[in-house]
Amino acid sequence: MRQETVTGLSVERAGPLALLQDAGRFGVRRLGVTQGGPADVHAWAWANHLVGNAWGAGALEVTFGGLALKAARDLSLALCGADLGATLDDDPLAPWRGFRMRAGQVLRFAQPTSGLRAYLAVAGGFRADPVLGSLSCVVREGLGGHDGQGRPLAEGDRLAVGPGAKKGPRGKAVPVEERPDYDAVPRLALLPGAQVAEFEGASLHAAFGQAWTVDDRADRMGVRLLGPRLRCRLTSLISEGLGLGAVQVPPDGQPIALLNDRQTIGGYPRLGALTPLACARLAQCPPGREVRLAAVSAERALAEYRRFRAKFG
């Protein structure tokens, strides 16, 4: 690694999916490479903020829990996002706050009780050699992560940190009003666009007027929603570039909201795109959770995202 680093944490037990994520990999979609980055940018950003990291620092995304990490040295950390039943030396550790971890202590994640993905940040950020300008881990493409090979954490792996990893702020917590209720039914902001005018009127009414259910076919690539069948007058479409949150509707009429590890092009008609914060909220929804779509204007969506980013400089 180019920067001075030391081992901060070692993996004693590997959960189903723990990945290093910075802000994402940009400027490479023309090569067919997707962006990666945190599925829940809201929780990831707050975790980094609590330990004094600038936007873009690498943090650990823990999905479904099952992970155990042992500290190799004293560390200043923060945990945000889903409640995965975390404990520090068997003492309960609530999310949305910073904490200190002494050398030899063990941080364990159990099972989700609210949300799906937790974010663990360390002062100065986790360190790894960037691949195509980012350390974000994309398993499907074998890129980035702690080893540059796109692998989830495995037992025996070590996470590198900078020498100042114990110097973060002490005792900070995310304001209560900034903590989402992951058990509530979310209204996902969607920018109508692309081929929205080609959908039948009844389908548009159903899309925004009825509830959808998160299917069990959901991962970092995309989330399938189950509900009323949407019908589009288009029968063929030339493949187009796909941005974060694009909502494609395949022939079965069940929409798919595309997330960070999506393919770079697609040929299904689209209702439009979820906003980045709507994608973040969807990424915390387990299978079976009810969600609703809410059409928003580009001006409103941009203003909301600017307010969010302004909190982090």
Of the candidates 139, 159, 178, which is a domain's last residue?
Answer: 178
Q: What is the rounded CA–CA span in Å between residue 126 and residue 108?
A: 18
pLDDT (tens, 9 = 90+) of the chain, 313 residues, equals: 556 889 999 999 999 999 999 999 999 988 999 999 999 999 999 999 999 999 999 999 999 999 999 999 999 999 999 999 999 999 999 999 999 999 999 999 999 999 999 999 999 999 999 999 999 999 999 999 999 999 999 999 999 999 888 887 777 999 999 999 999 999 999 999 889 999 999 999 999 999 999 999 999 999 999 999 999 999 778 999 999 999 999 999 999 999 999 999 999 999 999 999 999 999 999 999 999 999 999 999 999 999 999 999 8
Report the 10 Å Cβ neighbour count for 148: 16
Q: What is the rounded CA–CA span in Å between residue 251 and residue 259?
A: 20
Lookup: tokens for 285 = 């929804």
Backbone dihedral region for residue 91 (phi beyond 0: left; psi -120 to 50: alpha; all else: beta): beta
CATH assignment of the domain containing 210: 2.40.100.10
The three-state (H, E, C) secondary structure of 244-260, written as one string:
CCEEECCCCCCCEEECC
Of the candidates 178, 205, 234, which is a domain's last residue?
Answer: 178
Reported as type and span, the H/E element at residue 305 is helix 298-310
Q: Is position 1 within any domain?
A: no
Of the candidates 123, 143, 178, which is a domain's last residue?
Answer: 178
Q: Is the pTM of this model over 0.95?
A: yes
- Do both 138 and 159 map to the same domain? yes
Q: What is the rounded CA–CA span in Å between residue 25 and residue 30?
A: 12
- Do both 122 and 248 map to the same domain? no
Question: 273 with 247: CB under 8 angstroms?
Answer: yes
Reported as type and span, the H/E element at residue 24 is none
Question: Edge to edge, what strands does the sheet with 68-71 contain?
Answer: 91-92, 87-88, 106-108, 68-71, 6-13, 158-161, 126-127
Residue 204, domain extent: 187-310
- Do both 210 and 227 map to the same domain? yes
Q: Per-residue pLDDT tens for 200-258?
A: 999 999 999 999 999 999 999 999 999 999 999 997 789 999 999 999 999 999 999 99
Report the 10 Å Cβ neighbour count for 13: 15
